[in-house]
Amino acid sequence: MIRGRAIEAVRYILESAGYEVGEVNGEIDLSAVNEDTCIVVLCSDDGEAIETFETTRYSADLDAG
């Protein structure tokens, strides 16, 4: 329940900042894109999940339709 509220709060902040936000399945909770920036978000209190997220290299093709 707390995690869900955290995700919604972060979604609201990113949308307010002009990002297009979507939910993602798997290791990340949200992705957010604007003109030339992509942000990935994990909301967790699991230290191992955070460490994995923190050390994983993510990439996005912003030109893909």
Q: Given this model, what pLDDT does residue 60 score?
A: 73
User: Which pLDDT belongs to residue 64?
Assistant: 61
pLDDT tens-digit map of 8-61:
999 999 999 999 999 988 789 999 999 888 999 999 999 999 999 999 998 777
pLDDT at 24: 86
Number of H helices, E strands in the chain: 2, 3
Measure CA 44 to chain center.
12
Minimal CA–CA distance to 34: which of 60, 12, 62? 62
The model's confidence at residue 1, banded by pLDDT at 50, 70 and 90, is: confident
pTM across the whole model: 0.82
